[in-house]
Structure 1
Amino acid sequence: MEIRLIKSHEEKRKIDEWIVDEKEPDYSYRILVSQPKEPPPPSGYPVIYVLDGNAFFHLVEETNGLQSRRSDKTAVQAAIVIGIAYPGEKYFAPDRRFFDFTPPAVSNDLPPHPRGGEWPENGGADLFLNFIKNDLKPFLRNQYPICVSSQTLFGHSLGGLFTLYALFTNPGLFTNYIATSPSIWWNNQAVLSERHAFLEKLEKVNFKPRLFLSAGSEEKEYMVTDPKELAVDLQRAANSRLSVGFFEAEGENHLSVVPATISRSLRFTSGSDS
């Protein structure tokens, strides 16, 4: 694996673009890094990792920049924002994200594809998580002044599913987890089977992670009830070891829910529940 810098420019913030060249060209990554211009705190900047970076990197980094201007009111600190994206300019790369964001599944357990045909190759979440944990995070720590005790993972839809999978299987890997409209339905809600082992793993984490769940009221009913019920369940089972928030955005659909909730989610994960 090779990671090379291909572009760097400054506007409101300094933005670098890296390419991760894997042995298989179809599995390369485009990594976008936004760094505040102000000097970092002694412990380094908080960091926000954004899945589906082509679609959501700029939204998150602009929102963080605006919120952090009044950190005395919002508790949101200026952060390094890292978009994990794919080569090209399309918002989403369906085949890649299906593979990266989904835990292993038996094909017979999957529902029919809503648009007909076969599901893309899936079940690569463990490989993707290992890439983030063992390759990407150590590399970026050596390049940027990152605070190791304030790290957030953001994912939407299938990315929200992956965010929950990362929390359940590696609860100490990030400090905060933001899962917007998570696809808990995938593989008959198989991700929920990780909860019991998760509670045991959580006992060994020496800090209290924060999880923010959200959905739009105009989404399919299960896209709202699944995260809402999960929030209630986790609050009951792990309240002393995990901070959990849920917000249903009135009038928002599966995509509009992201800009409608990102400010609230950043405030929650920064320690402000309002």
Structure 2
Amino acid sequence: MRAEQTEREYEIRVWVPEGAPPASGYPVIYLLDANAVFGTMVEAMRAQSLRPEKTGVVPAVIVGVGYTAREPFPPDRHYDFMMSVPEEELPRRTDRATWPEHGGAEAFTQFIEEQLKPDIERRYAIDRSRQSVVGHSLGGLFVLQLLLDHPGTFRNYVAGSPSLHWNLAWIARQQETFVSRMTDKHSEIHVFLAAGELEGSHPSGVIERSRAFTQWLNRTDSRVVRADFICFEDEGHVSVLPVFIGRALRFVSSD
């Protein structure tokens, strides 16, 4: 699928539950980094949604947003998932090389809202009141940027090991004005952050930053935002993905 604004190409993968949809339509999960984790989420959904009364996971359409490249984490994701950040605010690479091009998060948001969502809603029976977005690492950063800048575009915002250290100044500015972007028209918003225990030694401070972000959300004056954070024992930045995805499915099913 080609983005009209940027002409960037995306590989969209869709999984639809068997059987007739509910009268209101299926819940829908928009999953970033589909190259790496689409299969993981689909298999978790297939197994767990058979007995939702036991697992807490209800059938939902899964829309994976990925790339035509074959590697699990193509460099294009830096552009799509990140806001424009001044060079001096970027993390320093140990090899002193430059980071891939970034700054396309607004255009990527526009692609999702104006092209991808309408296309999915034309093709499948979707409950627009039960939309979720799930991302990990830079994808988790994008999810939280989306929450701060466009609250209410989804009901559930799920961020695993979010790379909050990439965009600290922008995030701080958005936090100052976040409540002003919330209105009485917004239904309840649920936010889930997670990280792996073994990430605690990383200089990004992902565990501490994720926990602090969760606490900040729960302290805001907004009455419609609820946030949770979990640190998974004995898991690292990549090994956390399967357990994070399993918990994410339960989280988005509980609204």
Match of 1:88 among 42, 58, 69: 69
Distance 1:184 1:261 in 2: 18
Please tell me whether residue 164 in structure 1 is matched to residue 144 in structure 2: yes
CA apart distance, 1:265: 2.1
Instruction: Name the stretch that deviates more: 32-41 or 110-119.
Output: 110-119
Q: Which runs of 5+ in 2 are unaligned?
A: none
Please tell me whether residue 129 in structure 1 is matched to residue 140 in structure 2: no
CA apart distance, 1:73: 2.8
Match of 2:226 among 237, 243, 251: 243
| Matched residue count | 252
Higher relative contact order (CA 8 A, sep 6+): 2
Preserved CA contact (<8 Å) 1:20 1:31: no
Partner of 1:146: 126
Match of 2:236 among 222, 237, 253: 253
Counterpart amino acid of residue 128 in structure 1: F
Partner of 1:35: 16
Partner of 1:20: 2
SS in 1 for 2:24: coil
SS in 2 for 1:218: helix
Over 3 Å counting, the alpha-carbon distance change for 1:159 and 1:250 in structure 2 is same
Instruction: Name the stretch that deviates more: 125-134 or 68-77.
Output: 68-77
TM-score by length of 2: 0.93
Over 3 Å counting, the alpha-carbon distance change for 1:21 and 1:198 in structure 2 is closer
Over 3 Å counting, the alpha-carbon distance change for 1:23 and 1:245 in structure 2 is closer
Q: Which has the higher strand share?
A: 1
Counterpart amino acid of residue 232 in structure 1: Q
Partner of 2:176: 196
Partner of 1:10: none
Deviation sequence 1:58-82 (CA, Å, 0-9, x none): 1112212222112113332101000
Partner of 1:207: 187
TM-score by length of 1: 0.86
Counterpart amino acid of residue 244 in structure 2: T
RMSD of Structure 2 on Structure 1 (CA) = 1.8
CA apart distance, 1:169: 1.1
SS in 2 for 1:252: coil
Over 3 Å counting, the alpha-carbon distance change for 1:192 and 1:68 in structure 2 is farther
Partner of 2:25: 44
Instruction: Name the stretch that deviates more: 187-196 or 117-126.
Output: 187-196
SS in 2 for 1:32: strand
Aligned-pair identity (%):
37
Deviation sequence 1:139-191 (CA, Å, 0-9, x none): 11111111111011000000000000111111111110110000000133532
Preserved CA contact (<8 Å) 2:27 2:60: yes
Over 3 Å counting, the alpha-carbon distance change for 1:199 and 1:144 in structure 2 is same
Please tell me whether residue 77 in structure 1 is matched to residue 58 in structure 2: yes
Partner of 1:264: 247
